[in-house]
Chains A and B, each alone.
Chain A
Amino acid sequence: MNSSETHSPKPPRPPVPVAVAVVGQFSWGLTTLFVLASACWAVLPYTGHMFAALVFLLAIVLAGTRWNRSAVLTMAVASALVWNFIFVPPRFTLHIESPQDVVMFVMFFIVALSMGHLTTRLREREAALERHHQEREQLLAEKHRAELLAEAETLHRTLLDSVSHELKTPISIIRTAIDGLGTENPFAREIETANRRLQRIVENFLEITRVESEAVKPRPEWCEATDVLDQATRTLKRELGAHPLKVSGFADLPLLMLDSRLLAQAVSNVLHNATLYAPMGTPIELSATLADEQLEVRVRDHGPGLPEDVDDRVFEKFYRTPGSPAGGTGLGLAISRGLMRALKGDITVRNHPEGGAEFTLHLPVKIRQSPEP
């Protein structure tokens, strides 16, 4: 009850010390009462019995500022009885003779109880206020911290945006200029190829920065798996020209709740990787399956597969398997892993038993079975 409320404002204390504290307060209260009663008894001939009543009231008020309510109220009741029994004539009976003393006794009783009650309540209020104040300060401190974080994030984003703008503008200008030149000129074609490569590198560097600074925030919405497929292959038309793409499973899936842009980008990087490592003309298989609200997208190529000891290292930043073709940053797969983890999924790789590397991208999704039209 009150004891725990008033004496453990912050974390709840173990129960035993509280009980001990309360018992301590009861005995302290009664001891104080005894001492005061003896003192008043000693000076009674000079002061009269009213003085003892005032001394008791003072003691109750003071006790109320320190002790818990039940102890103070007990003290109030006890002091009223003691005053009546010892000090009010006729002494050593609970009987009161004069009507004036009866009124005094009743008033004493009421004043003592209400004083005890009021002072302890005041103290409880104070404690509550104090607690409230502390909570407020804590909240303010937390808010301040959150603001600082948000500020850092905004600064980071602004910086990233401006770097992005500065790097992409020249690439964009070169692209438009080459389009103006026309692609008949073989030199223009070389510039175009280099420019595309440059664009991919810049985009990869920006993306890995975003992924690493956790600036990638998934925004899931209902989408069709075929949209993911469409987006993943859209920017790879040229590269996929040399590899027949065998797609399966996407059209059969229900509506999925996911950030299709991020997943498509992760798949796209893996596909691009496959087009780089598998020999020209070999097919790439892309399949999607759904089991227990887990979406799995598999990309399998018919290339040489991974060296025995490599496996997970291909997802490390800047890692390139021995004998990789020239060009490329070693970032594509690291970005894919970063994106999949941002989506609460992951990406793994193994060598397919029948040859070639097989990447599996998996993530949890909510699904909605669409009723047939």
Chain B
Amino acid sequence: MSKALIIDDETQMRRLLRMVLETRGHEVCEAADGQLGLQEAAFHRPDVVLLDLGLPGLSGIEVLKRLREWSDVPVLILSVRDQEAVKVEALEAGADDYVTKPFGTAELLARLNVIQRRRFTRQSPQITAGALVLDLLHHEATLEDAPLKLTPTEFALIKVLAEHAGRIVTQNQIIRQVWAGQSSDASEGLRVHINHLRKKLGETGPKIVNEPGIGYRLEAE
């Protein structure tokens, strides 16, 4: 049974999330502010953390940074709209994904599932995202069992997205992994290659969804 820690200052929100998560078989602990949240995280060792960004006192970002000093527990950010810069900051500080309030329960649970899945390390040199299969050993891709020709950059790009399938990857995270050490206008290059990849993946392949101001998410289902 997985253990979830909810760090949110709204009592009602905590109570509701607890009910939602408990009916899905999670064990739940709560904290009303960042300081308590960090204590609870150290004490209970949760399997996943739901962290509100708008906490009083110690900010959500600060809680995340301190948590990341000693723990790699998956963290889902709960945020409101129009906080793109803060969301990016949180994601780069080690958050795994975010949901925007008001969010549907289905969306919340789907995100929690995806970010908890990453705990299981990959055993085979293959990544599957819907109809797309990447063979990391031979650097080959197949779409619906037909070979798909990709340039090395496109392969590196789809690899990053597929490794995080269903999760948001920030623009900087992509650029760091695909264009490491190159100083050209990587953001422009990224758009161009995403454009090419989308054309190659077509209707049958997984969808590359843009989250404006934040990054990309590969939707396999």
Contact = CB atoms under 8 A, between A and B. Distances in A.
Interface of A: 164-165, 168-169, 171-177, 179-180, 199, 203, 219, 221-224, 226-227, 230-231, 255, 259-261, 264, 368, 370-371, 373
Contacts of B154: 373
A40 to B, nearest CB: 77
A261 B101 contact: no
B10 A169 contact: yes
Given A164-B80, A224-B194, A370-B195, A169 B13 contact: yes
Interface stretch (B43-51, B116-124, B125-133, B209-217): B209-217
B151 interface: yes
B102 A219 contact: no
Interface of B: 10, 12-13, 16-17, 19-20, 54, 80-82, 84, 101-106, 151, 154, 187-188, 190-192, 194-196, 198-200, 209-210, 212-213
Nearest to A223: B191
Contacts of B212: 223, 227, 231, 259-261, 264
B196 A373 contact: yes
B129 to A, nearest CB: 19
B192 A370 contact: yes
B13 A173 contact: yes
Which of A176, A199, A221, A371 lies at the interface centre, i.e. has the most chain B CB atoms within 10 A of its CB? Answer: A176
B200 A373 contact: yes
A176 B20 contact: yes
A35 B82 CA distance: 81
A171 B13 CA distance: 11
14 contacts: A175-B104, A176-B16, A176-B20, A180-B20, A222-B187, A222-B188, A223-B210, A224-B195, A224-B198, A224-B210, A227-B210, A259-B212, A261-B212, A370-B195
A260 B154 CA distance: 23
B191 A177 contact: no
Given A172-B101, A176-B105, A221-B213, 11 more contacts: A172-B103, A173-B13, A173-B16, A175-B102, A180-B16, A227-B210, A230-B209, A255-B192, A261-B84, A261-B212, A373-B196
A168 B82 CA distance: 12
Nearest to B199: A373
A199 B102 contact: yes
Given A180-B20, A219-B213, A231-B212, A255 B13 contact: no
Contacts of B54: 165
A230 B192 CA distance: 18
B105 A179 contact: yes
A231 B214 CA distance: 13
A172 B188 contact: no
Contact of B103 (A175, A260, A264): A175
B102 A165 contact: no
Interface centre among A177, A368, A373 (most CB of B within 10 A): A373
A235 to B, nearest CB: 11
Contacts of A370: 192, 195-196
A321 to B, nearest CB: 29
Contacts of A226: 198
Contacts of A164: 80, 82
